[in-house]
Amino acid sequence: MISLNVNGKRYDVDVSPDMPLLWVIRDAIGLTGTKFGCGLSQCGACTVHLDGEPVRSCVTPVSSVGARKVTTIEGLSPDSTHALQTAWVAEQVPQCGYCQSGQLMSAAALLAKKPKPSDADIDAAMSGNICRCGTYQRIRRAIHRAAGV
Amino acid sequence: MASTLSRRTFLKVSAAGGALVISGYIPGLNDTAEAAGSFEPNVWLKIGADDTVTITLSQLEMGQGVMTSMPMLVAEELDIDWNKIKTEWAPADPKYGNPNFGGAQLTAGSNSVRGMWKLLREAGGTARAMLVTAAAKDWSVAENTCSTEKGEVIHKATGRRARYGSLVDKAAALPVPKDVSLKDPKDFRLLGKTMPRLDIPEKVNGRAVFGIDVKRPNMLIARVVRCPVFGGKVATFNADKAKEVAGVRHVVQISSGIAVVADNYWAASKGAQALDVKWNEGSLANLTSADIMKKYKALAEQPGKVARNDGDAAGAVKGAGRSFERVFELPFLAHACMEPMNCTADVRSDRCDVWVPTQGQTASAAAAVAASGLPAKAVNIHTTYLGGGFGRRGEADFVTDAVETSKATGKPVKVIWTREDDIQHDYYRPVSYVRMWGALDPSGKPVAFMQRLVQQSLMKRLGPLPPNGVDFISVDGSATLPYDIPNIRVEYTETDPGIPYGFWRSVGASVQGFVVEGFIDELATTAGKDPYQFRHDLLSKHPRHRAVLDLVAEKSGWGKPLPAGHARGIAVMEAFGSIVGEVAEVSVTNGAVRVHKVWCAVDTGWVINPDTIKAQMEGGTIYGLTAALKGEITIQNGRVAQHHFNDYPMIRHNEAPEVEVHIVPSTEKPGGIGEPSTAVAAGALANAIFAATGKRIYTLPIRAEQLRG
Ligand code: FES
Ligand code: FES
């Protein structure tokens, strides 16, 4: 049994220790907001926070998580009122929406560190997150909006 | 087809009052007004006694906004309160077919609005007419003295109002009118106004359910090991090691390879890696991209089938003072939807349920019937959101995978493709070899335009080629050339090297937007003319094209000074019933292309949801630029050489330009919006690179080596 704290809740899961956190979250715990896009740390769709730091859960073995707190898109806010979520709606960001959990988690980690990020900061923090639908300019606008600039 | 699609069939009253009330009534549980009845004048909408309007969605949501635009079409004619709208996905059933696909349920070819707008507006208009009749009867007033607004019938003279919900039983008892008049676009209240997309709230909190998120009781997860060589088959396999992996439950052979079925994806994945398979690689095992191009080049020596022939283009090329030939080569492309292909199936002895993110309910149902061996009526297709489609999800290979695996194991199974599977087992945008000839008269006017295209036939994926042997999908953009040139000839030669191919966002136009607009640009600069002015002068017979071209030139500041090292390129074309013009501003440093900004003007007829049009132009442009700058699938030894986002890369945040979109006001019938900007983007980009470097681009993707020195 491995114990995990996900979105403030404790889960005891019986999985192989090398199983990536992504699949523990999706298949064992059943939270499907975190997405699989590549499994190789190339697309960012699986981004979650470990103690507030963005990580690619597809290459994070569950055994390496330890006592760190896992936050997924479902835990970003209880009622979709995180400043980024309201900005995402205001800017009508998502198209297919599949990449957006990862985009939001990367952006949330960025804002936590840099409340008023520059375009260069956004490039640096977000370029690991692919959006095949090409919503990049709306994501940028939404981050600026959430930052109040 | 006619019998399933005629309006009469749709507009049968599916009895609300009587039958529905009785069957919906559970004694002692609920006798409130909500249960009293509903009005369902056709298969597209249902109005409840509580005023809720439920709209059935047959076209599927993959980011292009149909979940909102389809209800807007109904709501406009029905005059309802937008906040009372609910939506429901249609099952696979011919009665929900798209007339533009002969009644098949398919979300493709930018055909949702184009195929459905009339049907959906009529559905709303018919319901409204019946509600008005019901109220007018009740009040003993003439129908034409009643109006409707926000879900109410209103009799102005007497100040009477009735909520639609209060009229449902009476309306349901009325005959369905044969003809219903639709609003004049100038009277639209909803259409043309930006409505927030209905799917967005659940796409910012992880609640939207994509195919990959489907959960069924006792469901297992499978990964399929496929022969890397196209057409290859399993020779032998040994599952012992795979079965030793904890969590692996079954290893079964299916038509696409070996399915490793486990408790979770990780176990299936480890099992797949442990599997020992010997392949019979088949006849394509030595094929390379170079072989394919060599064959195409040889074919292009011979004339093709004639798609268009105005005047005598060959003669004009020979006779002109200035003429030239150019050869364009474009690669195979993968779709790379963000959500890897997947499908969940539960096959029982007497029924088969399939949960699938698909663009084609009809094709998915057919695949499930074939793979399950069950009759069509036993097959149920449940659709979900699609994490991208772009043409890939009009195929049904993933449905076959899941249905065969569920049938073989007797369990509900979700098959999830890896990203490598997705890149290596796609139905690719066809590779293309294109010869172009052009000629200018002494004054610099173009007198000849000639094209010879060699390509796999996209139409053949749908049916046989027409008797003239021309695939009109492949020549979409060249055979339809709008420019006023006296001698035009377009030839097409079909061939098939055996690599799976299919419909990739903007399809034939994805090739032609680059080739035609690049070649026209070269005619312009060879003539010493400004590329915008040159096109403008040739578009006197196509005022919509010209207006789009003029608007994009104006908005981009065409001709105005730019920062040092920056340059602009322009392109315009019609595709999928819309006309799109783009200007790209680029700079090139040591061969590296930077796209600073793209301006886009679009005439897509009367507009439904303007912000959705903008979003599609933005995203479609990024999709087209990604292909032009980075996209290439190559074949080595009969297999795809690329695997992942590292060797099949995407434009990312740090490279993505802003796309500024302008919509041309129009009263023409609606055009498609999902694809046209993808087609035109490469043309504008390549022409801007020429303006910056003096180097013409004839081969995609654009490589730094081509631009250095
Ligand atoms: S799925 Fe983890 S980075 Fe792509
Ligand atoms: S919204 Fe579709 S991949 Fe980003």
Interface with chain B: mutation pick from A21, A27, A58, highest number of B CBs within 10 Å:
A27
Residue B199 pLDDT grade (very low, low, confident, very high; cuts 50, 70, 90): very high
Look at chain B and count its residues. 709
Question: A134 vs B419: CB contact, 8 Å cut-off?
Answer: no
pLDDT value of position B55: 93
B455-474 core/surface letters (b: 16 or more CB in 10 A; e: else): bbbbbeeeeeeeeeebbbbb
Question: Are B403 and B224 a contacting pair, CB within 8 Å?
Answer: no
Cβ within 8 Å of residue B363, ≥6 positions away: B104, B106, B394, B395, B396
For residue range B685-709, what is the model confidence (pLDDT) as tens digits?
Answer: 999 999 999 999 999 999 999 998 6
Residue B125 pLDDT grade (very low, low, confident, very high; cuts 50, 70, 90): very high
Average pLDDT, chain B: 92
Structural domain boundaries of chain A?
2-76, 83-147
Scanning B631-650 for CB atoms below 8 A from A yields: 644-646, 650
> Residue A65 carries which DSSP code?
T
Report the distance separating Cα A55 and Cα A62, nearest Å: 12
Report the distance separating Cα B67 and Cα B60, nearest Å: 7
pLDDT value of position B110: 81
- CATH topology identical between A2-76 and A83-147: no
Asked whether residue B595 carries a pLDDT value surpassing 60, the answer given is yes
Atom 3, ligand 1: residue with shortest CA distance: A41
> Residue B402 carries which DSSP code?
H
- Going by C-alpha positions, the residue among B417, B395, B393 that lies closest to residue B405 is B417
Ligand that lies nearest to the alpha carbon of residue A21, given by its number in the listed order: 1
Cβ within 8 Å of residue B170, ≥6 positions away: B134, B137, B138
| Ligand 1 atom closest to A36 (CA) | 1
| Binding pocket residue ranges, ligand 2, CB within 6 Å | A 94-100, 131-133, 135; B 63, 338, 388
| Ligand 2 atom closest to A97 (CA) | 1
Dihedral angle, C-alpha B125, B128, B130, B132, nearest 10 °: -130
Question: Which residue of B338, B620, B650 is in closest CB contact with A96?
Answer: B338
Residue B106 pLDDT grade (very low, low, confident, very high; cuts 50, 70, 90): confident
pLDDT value of position B207: 97
Asked whether residue B322 carries a pLDDT value surpassing 80, the answer given is yes
Residue of B nearest to A75 (CA): B205
Distance of residue B651 Cα from the nearest chain A Cα, in angstroms? 8
Asked whether residue B472 carries a pLDDT value surpassing 90, the answer given is yes
For residue range B441-452, what is the model confidence (pLDDT) as tens digits?
Answer: 999 999 999 999
Question: Are B323 and B317 a contacting pair, CB within 8 Å?
Answer: yes
Asked whether residue B102 carries a pLDDT value surpassing 90, the answer given is no
Question: Are B688 and B569 a contacting pair, CB within 8 Å?
Answer: yes
pLDDT value of position B91: 85
Report the distance separating Cα B397 and Cα B255, nearest Å: 10
Residue of A nearest to B414 (CA): A27
Q: How far apart are the first and last CA of chain B?
A: 60
Asked whether residue B44 carries a pLDDT value surpassing 60, the answer given is yes
Residue B208 pLDDT grade (very low, low, confident, very high; cuts 50, 70, 90): very high
Residue B13 pLDDT grade (very low, low, confident, very high; cuts 50, 70, 90): very low
B103 vs B662, more confident: B662
pTM over 0.90: yes
pLDDT value of position B113: 83
CA-to-CA dists, residue B364 to A9, B382, B405, B421, angstroms: 39, 10, 15, 19
pLDDT value of position B32: 29
Asked whether residue B6 carries a pLDDT value surpassing 80, the answer given is no
Lowest mean pLDDT among A26-35, A97-106, B313-322, B375-384: B313-322
| Centroid of ligand 1 to alpha carbon of B581 (angstroms) | 35
Scanning B186-205 for CB atoms below 8 A from A yields: 196-197, 199-201, 203-205
Domains recognised in chain B with CATH numbers: 11-203 (3.30.365.10), 211-282+341-416 (3.30.365.10), 290-332+428-707 (3.30.365.10)
Cβ within 8 Å of residue B294, ≥6 positions away: none
Asked whether residue B35 carries a pLDDT value surpassing 60, the answer given is no
CA B117 remoteness from chain centre = 16
Ligand that lies nearest to the alpha carbon of residue B644, given by its number in the listed order: 1
The CA R_g of chain A, rounded to the nearest whole Å, is 15
Report the distance separating Cα A95 and Cα B200, nearest Å: 8
Question: A37 vs B419: CB contact, 8 Å cut-off?
Answer: yes
Interface with chain A: mutation pick from B195, B204, B273, highest number of A CBs within 10 Å:
B204
Asked whether residue B34 carries a pLDDT value surpassing 50, the answer given is no
Q: Residues B260-289: what's their mean pLDDT?
A: 98
Domain A83-147 CATH class label? mainly alpha
For residue range B516-531, what is the model confidence (pLDDT) as tens digits?
Answer: 999 999 999 999 999 9
| Inter-chain CB pairs, A–B, below 8 Å | 184
| Centroid of ligand 2 to alpha carbon of A34 (angstroms) | 13
pLDDT value of position B90: 87
Residue B17 pLDDT grade (very low, low, confident, very high; cuts 50, 70, 90): very low
Q: Residues B136-144: what's their mean pLDDT?
A: 96
Whether the complex's predicted ipTM is more than 0.85 is answered with yes
Q: Is B419 on the interface with A (CB under 8 A)?
A: yes
Q: Residues B281-306: what's their mean pLDDT?
A: 98
Question: Are B672 and B578 a contacting pair, CB within 8 Å?
Answer: yes
Question: Are B381 and B354 a contacting pair, CB within 8 Å?
Answer: yes
Question: A16 vs B615: CB contact, 8 Å cut-off?
Answer: no
Asked whether residue B583 carries a pLDDT value surpassing 60, the answer given is yes
For residue range A86-108, what is the model confidence (pLDDT) as tens digits?
Answer: 999 999 999 999 999 999 999 99
For residue range B157-179, what is the model confidence (pLDDT) as tens digits?
Answer: 999 999 999 999 999 999 989 88
Strands B233-238 and B220-225: unpaired
Asked whether residue B311 carries a pLDDT value surpassing 70, the answer given is yes
Residue B8 pLDDT grade (very low, low, confident, very high; cuts 50, 70, 90): very low
Question: A16 vs B247: CB contact, 8 Å cut-off?
Answer: yes
A47 vs B319, more confident: A47
pLDDT value of position B186: 87
Question: B205 vs A96: CB contact, 8 Å cut-off?
Answer: no
CATH number of A2-76: 3.10.20.30
Residue of A nearest to B220 (CA): A27
Question: A16 vs B200: CB contact, 8 Å cut-off?
Answer: no
Rounded to 10°, the helix B610-630/A136-146 angle is: 120
For residue range B381-411, what is the model confidence (pLDDT) as tens digits?
Answer: 999 999 999 999 999 999 999 999 999 999 9
